[in-house]
Copies of this chain bind each other. A is one copy, B any other.
């Protein structure tokens, strides 16, 4: 198999099963693409799809899904708890196997251009693909949501990267970009005191002085009588999982608290776990090419 990319597009439909299925069909039975997961939330009125594949067929699948969403979702009638600015709200691409970030950015830009041309939906490039620093953050782009996009796109600083300076009447706008894989990683502590979880979360997260690619909050696991540091690791190749585990362990010590466990929510790239094994066992000169499964799908 060639270089592999992941995409996690978010569609603004979490209730109509016919529309959700039509979107998923774009990723099904397509050679070179694999639909890994999908999660539709009626309260958010949003569906999150996870698919992996080679660049060309993955691009085709995403474009087909966007076409379906533009045809079937009307944002003028859309209500839901999650903020949104388009029928397809955001399309991140992620380098997976043998793919570089540069190649992922290129793929995201090709998809962005094709969406604007094929469906007349204006596109903002975000994260690693952003054309300017103030467009890196998705929340800044989405501010004002669907209802505010007509006014926003008239502003010079919010001219879309591709497409017209007015939103699509029913499908709004979409953000397309490249980012590293996210790992949702939680570490559990031997205390019921939520203040300790919050203090440790503050110590380890980037925002308040901690690790560069770590977002963290404290969470109370009342049913288990313990607390948790709940994290998004935004680049495990630079801030590996073992580092945050050991930092939490060290910070917990001042409260007389121990790490009692951890969990990975959802999917995780193999390399994140192989790196942890290599760290804890002190593996020397180890290459991911020594992992049999790495060869299986080559």
List residues of chain A with CB under 8 Å of any chain B CB: 1, 4, 6, 34, 36, 52, 96-97, 181, 188, 241-242, 245, 259-264, 266-270, 273-274, 276-278, 280-286, 290-298
Contact = CB atoms under 8 A, between A and B. Distances in A.
A283 B52 CA distance: 25
Contacts of A293: 97, 269-270, 293-294, 297
A285 B263 CA distance: 7
Contacts of A181: 292
Given A36-B295, A298-B34, A270 B267 contact: no
A52 B290 contact: no
Contacts of A188: 282, 284
Contacts of A262: 281-284
B297 A268 contact: no
A50 B293 CA distance: 13
A53 B50 CA distance: 27
Contacts of A283: 261-264
Nearest to A259: B282
Given A96-B292, A241-B277, A268-B291, 15 more contacts: A1-B297, A34-B298, A52-B292, A188-B284, A241-B281, A261-B283, A262-B283, A263-B286, A267-B291, A268-B292, A269-B293, A270-B291, A270-B294, A273-B277, A277-B277
Nearest to A274: B273
A280 B277 contact: yes
Contacts of A36: 292, 295
A284 B296 contact: no
A229 to B, nearest CB: 13
A267 B292 contact: yes
Nearest to A279: B280
B242 A281 contact: yes
B268 A270 contact: no
A284 B260 CA distance: 10
A110 to B, nearest CB: 22
Contacts of A297: 1, 293, 296-297
Contacts of A291: 267-270, 273
A46 B175 CA distance: 58
Contacts of A276: 276-277, 280-281
7 contacts: A34-B298, A52-B292, A181-B292, A242-B280, A264-B283, A267-B295, A270-B294
A104 B181 CA distance: 36
A268 B290 contact: yes
Contact of A260 (B6, B96, B282, B285): B282
